[in-house]
Chains A and B, each alone.
Chain A
Amino acid sequence: MSWWGSDARHEVTNEVLDLFEEKNPGITVVRDFGGFDGYLDKITTQYTGGNSPDVVQLYNEVLREFASRGQTADLNTAIEGGELSLDGWPDDLVETNTIDGQLSALPFGLSTHAFIFDEARSAELGVEVPAEDYSWDDLKEYATAISTASGGALYGVTDLSHSYQVFEVWAKQNKEEFLTAEGIGFTADTLVDYWDYWADMRAAKAATPPDVTSEYASPYDAVIQGTAASTFLFANQYAGVVSNSGNPLALLRMPGEAKNPGQYLRTAMNLLVSSQSKHPAEAALLVNFLLNDPEANAILGIERGVPANGNVVKAATENVDENNAKAIALIESVREHGAAAPVPAPTGSGTVNTLFTEFAQQVQFGSLSSKDAADQFIAQAKSELG
């Protein structure tokens, strides 16, 4: 089995795999784990060489690339064979991962989008953190107030115009999609509005300037380092960011959710069985154990996000600290009141996501207008998605 992650993840995963071996004498799980950098290259290369791991942790953006080329075993076979059970699983999650009639993978932890606000710095500057049902305009107001009060030393928010993940929520709030199985799921106007919103933010000095924005690999790094007071992240990252920041951080849903929610239960990562596996039954047993066993989930906790199987959520979330409890509450609020998850991204989406960032940056640096960038991006994305 292969997975990527931090040391904390390796620790709990190895512990669970030991437990699995203990409960299933005769099955040994060979483990291959490391950081996220280079993970996809490694897996792809192993697949090409015909020696992929039996069980693979894979992220949603590339799931279709693998599944549509027949590299994922149909998990329905394991369900019929009795190795895997879907008891307690929400139907729509199973639905989204069914590609070409085959159940290609199952979510290995659910998360959702969120916004953090640095409470300590906001209080210092005498600016109030927005309330639960804040809008995009409220965010603009907050960010402008922070930048003004700090005399430009602290930006109110990081510029998120290049984040396709934030735009996806924006599009869903407007009853559109970022990408569908067929291709582009939004109108040019929606994207122009989005980029114009951030252009106003930059003009008001409320959002980070482009050269600062492009320095941060993850937006939350700007909050940790005290460059910006608020930004977007995924809920399961919250506890880690708080401990790195040292400041108390408020955790809220995305702006604009009150009217028409665009957030959804997002598959943080998937677990799949390789179609090259010589032991598909044993591999399915392991997948079943990791996803459906309360004991296993008690160890795994919510490091990968909240379990998708409602029956084991309790086991996974029983002994969490305060910060993780906040994140879980937010994820559960989306489960109650959120949008439907989009289908796994179409093939070629990796290139499209890169293009999105590139065109957004050209708008940031002023070399293209929002309108021109949106038109060019849509044209190029269409040709990439075939």
Chain B
Amino acid sequence: MALTHSRPSDTERSAPGSEPHVVRGSEDPRTPRAARGLRSLRAARFNERLAPYLFLLPWLIGFFVITLGPMLYSLYLSFTNFSMLAPPEWVGIDNYIKMFTNDPKYLESVRVTLVYVFVSVPLQLAFALMLAMVLNRGLRGLPIYRSIYYLPSLIGGSVAIAVLWRQMFGHNGLINQILDVFGIEAQSWIGNPNTALGTLIILNVWTFGSPMVIFLAALRQIPQELYEAGAVDGVNKRQQFLHITLPMLTPIVLFNLILQLIGAFQAFTPAFVVSGGTGGPVNSTLFYTLYLYQRGFTSFQMGYASAMAWVLFVGIAVVTVINFWFSKYWVHYDD
């Protein structure tokens, strides 16, 4: 049963020809409808804008609560004296001052880390590129070789591999048994301050798998026409590599370089395991992160450790920015 007093619906009222068109005004019966339409449109737009954030919410909560919050808290802690067992005491920039003026061990750890980063990363990338070139020749069973070479980079950062390294480079280890065959006198590679860091550098170079796989993909992307054109001009292998392959790869080299640099700055496990957590012998494997850990958990100086962490953060950022800035001089983008 129809309600006699019900308001005629908008559609009825605005049906064409149902009533003469009047000048827009306050009595214009269309106004409320227009406003309503606008409102619902706004709501729809708002929903449309909100939806992605709703989907992002789990990650956002994770970022603000689990990442950003603690990071800002550690920034605050870096200006305090915090033993973890008593409330933090504000000391201003004392931690930062001590680091650079009154802590020889800190400077030693910076030195060790820089040597590790700037020796092992270029070597690792060179190795990765070399093997990628070899594998790119299209030999049979390529996927198998690729997997085998990739394997170390999956497990290279693990405790198990670091333990293996201890065994291999010890004075009774595999390396010495091999050298013994050639009549080279045995010594403990991990127990000697002059060679201990070298074994860790070799360990990092050995994890060349992930940059290698990326290089391999990039090599496949280089247009064959370039090589054909080169062949017509009669370039030799070396020129081919220097003037075609390498320039075409530079963006990928930059990508790998930045990724591996960041990783190497943060290396911890190999040094921790190989030196038994000491960074020894005589601090020769005292990575920055290892010293940070010692300050935080052995000396109960979490404030100082936080300050160290922030200096590392800024240090990595600076190195990355410099890399990007320099990249315009050597990276060639194909556009």
Give the distance to chain B from A384, nearest Cβ to Cβ, in Å.
Answer: 8
Q: Hey, which chain B residues are within 8 Å of A44, CB to CB?
A: 84-85, 297, 300
Chain B minimum-CB-distance residue to A215: B191
Does A211 contact B300, Cβ atoms closer than 8 Å?
no
Chain A minimum-CB-distance residue to B190: A215
Does A47 contact B188, Cβ atoms closer than 8 Å?
no
Give the distance to chain A from B170, nearest Cβ to Cβ, in Å.
Answer: 5
Does A47 contact B280, Cβ atoms closer than 8 Å?
no
CA of A65 to CA of B191, assembled, Å: 32
Given contacts A361-B281, A362-B282, contact A215 B85 (CB under 8 A): no
Given contacts A211-B281, A212-B171, contact A350 B85 (CB under 8 A): no
Chain B minimum-CB-distance residue to A353: B298
Q: Quick check: which of A66-74, A192-200, A318-326, A330-338 contacts chain B, the rest being far away? A: A66-74
Grouping DSSP codes into helix (H, G, I), strand (E, B) and loop, the A interface class, with mixed when no group exceeds half, is helix
Quick one: which of B85, B170, B192, B193 contacts A65, CB cutoff 8 A?
B85
Chain B minimum-CB-distance residue to A351: B299
Interface 1/0s, chain B 120-162, versus A by CB < 8 A? 0000000000000000000000000000000000000000000
Q: Hey, which chain A residues are within 8 Å of B298, CB to CB?
A: 40, 350-351, 354
Interface 1/0s, chain A 67-94, versus B by CB < 8 A? 0011100000000000000000000000
Chain B minimum-CB-distance residue to A40: B297
Interface size, A (range): 20 to 34
Give the distance to chain A from B117, nearest Cβ to Cβ, in Å.
Answer: 23
CA of A348 to CA of B81, assembled, Å: 14
Q: Hey, which chain A residues are within 8 Å of B86, CB to CB?
A: 69-70
Give the distance to chain A from B109, nearest Cβ to Cβ, in Å.
Answer: 12
Which residue, B83, B85, B188, B276, has most C-beta atoms of chain A within 10 A? Answer: B85
Chain A minimum-CB-distance residue to B169: A215
Q: Hey, which chain B residues are within 8 Å of A256, CB to CB?
A: none
Does B281 contact A41, Cβ atoms closer than 8 Å?
no
Does A214 contact B191, Cβ atoms closer than 8 Å?
yes
Does A47 contact B84, Cβ atoms closer than 8 Å?
yes
Q: Hey, which chain B residues are within 8 Å of A351, CB to CB?
A: 298-299
Please report B residues at the A interface, Cβ cutoff 8 Å: 83-86, 166, 170-172, 187-188, 190-193, 276, 278, 280-283, 294, 297-300
A-B contact pairs, 9 of them (CB 8 A): A40-B297, A40-B298, A65-B83, A65-B85, A210-B191, A211-B171, A215-B171, A361-B280, A367-B282
Interface pairs A-B: 8 shortest CB-CB: A211-B191, A211-B188, A214-B281, A69-B85, A211-B192, A69-B86, A215-B191, A214-B191
